[in-house]
Structure 1
Amino acid sequence: MSLLSTVAAFSLQGKKALVTGSSGGIGKGVAQTLVDRGAQVVIHYNERKSEAMEFQQQLGKKKCLGAIHCDFRDPTSKIVRFMEQVNELCGGELDILVNNAGIVTKLALEDDTDDLSSWHDTMAVNLHAPNLLSKIFVNRFSTSLMSSDVTTRGVIINVSSIHGERSNEYMGAYAASKAALDSLTRTMAIEYAPYRVRVNAISPGVVPVERSQAAFSDPIIMGQWCDRLALQRVGTVQEVAEACIPLIENDWITGSIWQVDGGMMARANMPLRDRPPALRPE
């Protein structure tokens, strides 16, 4: 049982949210969690139309305002049009933006094409899109500065990754995009604070999703990952999604990057060691 289930549930009744990349994985989990708290959501998808339509039907018309397609590698004008559609569905009252959509590029730097197409695609989806979507989102609130007694008018959550702090081979573009997203999150928090828009990020660790279930079904692979985690187990989509709730609820949290990784970063990826004998006084 999670800690959140032991306290009075924070209500998002009347709030409207856009969760990008919400046809599956962490994005779907975040959207479901927001709906469970009373929010209405807009689903975004790129390639997984059937999954998005199924999720939309599952949520129902009262909870899901719509499902919209957009490829964030497309020109800026198409992304702007996408946000116009979102705002139409929300009646101009979008309260929460979760920048979750991303692509994981596993490629040696030297194996990218000469025009660095893989690099540019990764940056477009993982960095440029969150920046542009957030800019458009904040425009709703930027017509006037707010007095200090106003707490929160809008919330942005960027979904980053532990690769933003540490990486390994073949993850150069992905890791660079997430490191930049972490830095962008802090800058956004500072620049958008006068409009009472708070910006934070969650940084998930090892969380099996649809595309990785086959690998994690191998007990050897699962064991190798668990050995690197302080809690000795991988996380769940729900656990990552629930981490968004305090960031939405607490009016004094902004500019934070929350690691949701089972203690992976705390261990520094060092191998698991046997417990040493306890020190006892002579």
Structure 2
Amino acid sequence: MSTHDDPRQFEGKTVLITGAGKGIGRATAQLLAQRGARVIALSRSAADLRTLEDEIGCTTLCADLGDASAARSVADAAQPVDLLVNCAGIVELQPFLDTSVDAFDTIMAVNVRAAMIVAQQCARSMIGRGVAGSIVNVSSLSATVGLPLHAAYCASKAALDGLTRVMAVELGPHGIRVNTVNPVVTMTPMAEKAWSDPEKSAPMLARIPLKRFVQPLEVARTIAYLLSDESAMVSGVSLAVDGGFQAG
């Protein structure tokens, strides 16, 4: 444990994390549990949830967030929470000219619509209880940078950033902060699928001044910052975790 992983930072707080089975969501669940939060982990994979529960002793919820009514009922079942991390996300690689309506709709349903529905349920509960909560939507550098074969994914992350700004504006008067974290390629199982080919990853790495991709724990630490009182006046921002990519 590093000196920054304060075991008391989130004591007494309950956090709901979607997409908690793998990658950034799982790293965030582990980190926040380490820092004293009560973690409610949501994933569509029961097997991933079982191993996570064994590791950190979290509460688990299994649902496919691509189904709007399932997303609403599972978010409702999770209440009351103080903090929310919308991390569930999917990608399907298709050239723009061959991007199917089905793939586009499915990606938008999971990456944007589910984040909206889950956040609506959490925010309603926070407002009802008078809780000044914090919400972090896990976006991507692809919200602002066009990546080949990622038409639907890039569109979904740009939409998530736009949604986040409106949430910050409307929920701010209730004391609820909303931000996105926007990592460059992060070494998760989903990224391995998209970036395992050195021919594809080499040009991307060349554009990152720090010359490497991001680790899930590095994104998790940024999420923890945005959830915590250390960022008490940060709301409505898209915080890049990109090794300097956007500066180039």
Same fold, TM-score > 0.5, yes or no = yes
Give the counterpart of 1:230 among 198, 209, 234.
Answer: 209
Give the counterpart of 1:49 among 36, 46, 50.
Answer: 46
Structure 1 residue 58 displacement after superposition: 1.1
Structure 1 residue 189 displacement after superposition: 0.3
How far apart, CA to CA, are the structure 1 residues paired with 2:165 and 2:94?
Answer: 28
User: Which amino acid in the other structure matches residue 64 of structure 2?
Assistant: D
SS at match of 1:141: helix
Give the counterpart of 1:135 among 107, 120, 123.
Answer: 120
> Higher mean Cα deviation, 167-176 or 76-85?
76-85
How far apart, CA to CA, are the structure 1 residues paired with 2:221 and 2:20?
Answer: 15
Structure 1 residue 112 displacement after superposition: 3.5
Partner of residue 16, structure 1 = 14
Partner of residue 56, structure 2 = 59
Partner of residue 109, structure 1 = 96
Partner of residue 69, structure 1 = 62
How far apart, CA to CA, are the structure 2 residues paired with 1:212 and 1:188?
Answer: 28
Task: From the superposition, tell whether residues 38 and 166 of structure 1 become closer, same or farther in structure 2 (CA, over 3 Å).
Answer: same
Larger radius of gyration: 1
How far apart, CA to CA, are the structure 2 residues paired with 1:7 and 1:52?
Answer: 23
How far apart, CA to CA, are the structure 2 residues paired with 1:217 and 1:178?
Answer: 21
Query: Which has more helix, going by share of residues?
Result: 2
User: Which amino acid in the other structure matches residue 52 of structure 1?
Assistant: L
Task: From the superposition, tell whether residues 221 and 133 of structure 1 become closer, same or farther in structure 2 (CA, over 3 Å).
Answer: same
User: Which amino acid in the other structure matches residue 71 of structure 1?
Assistant: D
User: Which amino acid in the other structure matches residue 193 of structure 1?
Assistant: G
How far apart, CA to CA, are the structure 1 residues paired with 2:73 and 2:34?
Answer: 29
How far apart, CA to CA, are the structure 2 residues paired with 1:215 and 1:140?
Answer: 37
Deviations 1:192-231 (A, max 9, x none): 0111111011001021112444776776665443322111
SS at match of 1:199: strand
How far apart, CA to CA, are the structure 1 residues paired with 2:73 and 2:198?
Answer: 45
Give the counterpart of 2:175 among 192, 196, 204.
Answer: 196
User: Which amino acid in the other structure matches residue 29 of structure 1?
Assistant: A
User: Which amino acid in the other structure matches residue 40 of structure 1?
Assistant: R
Percent identity among equivalent residues? 32
How far apart, CA to CA, are the structure 2 residues paired with 1:215 and 1:176?
Answer: 17
Give the counterpart of 1:79 among 67, 71, 80.
Answer: 71
How far apart, CA to CA, are the structure 2 residues paired with 1:124 and 1:219?
Answer: 31
Task: From the superposition, tell whether residues 138 and 53 of structure 1 become closer, same or farther in structure 2 (CA, over 3 Å).
Answer: same
How far apart, CA to CA, are the structure 2 residues paired with 1:181 and 1:9?
Answer: 31
Structure 1: gaps of 5 or more residues: 147-151, 268-282
- What does 1:98-247 correspond to in 2, within 5 Å? 98-113=85-100, 116-143=101-128, 153-213=132-192, 223-247=202-226
- What does 1:30-45 correspond to in 2, within 5 Å? 30-45=28-43
Task: From the superposition, tell whether residues 24 and 203 of structure 1 become closer, same or farther in structure 2 (CA, over 3 Å).
Answer: same
How far apart, CA to CA, are the structure 2 residues paired with 1:106 and 1:167?
Answer: 13
TM-score (norm 2): 0.90
Task: From the superposition, tell whether residues 263 and 55 of structure 1 become closer, same or farther in structure 2 (CA, over 3 Å).
Answer: same
SS at match of 1:158: strand
8 Å CA contact retained: 2:16, 2:41: yes
Task: From the superposition, tell whether residues 7 and 212 of structure 1 become closer, same or farther in structure 2 (CA, over 3 Å).
Answer: closer
Deviations 1:48-70 (A, max 9, x none): 3212211111112xxx1x21111
How far apart, CA to CA, are the structure 2 residues paired with 1:212 and 1:49?
Answer: 21
How far apart, CA to CA, are the structure 2 residues paired with 1:36 and 1:7?
Answer: 7
